[in-house]
Structure 1
Amino acid sequence: MTIHVDIARSTASLADLVAHAENGEEVILARDGKPVAVVRAAEAAPVRPRFRIGALAHLGPLTEEEATLFLEPDPEMERLARSEDEDHFYR
Structure 2
Amino acid sequence: MGTTSSKRVSIKSYLLPYLDEIGEELGTKDASEVVHQIITEHKRFIRKSLTAYSTGIIEMPTPAQVQAIEKPRSFSDDDVLASSLSDLLDVA
TM-score (normalizing by structure 2): 0.27
Higher relative contact order (CA 8 A, sep 6+): 1
Q: Which has the higher helix share?
A: 2
- Which entry has the higher C-alpha Rg, 1 or 2? 1
Q: Which has the higher strand share?
A: 1
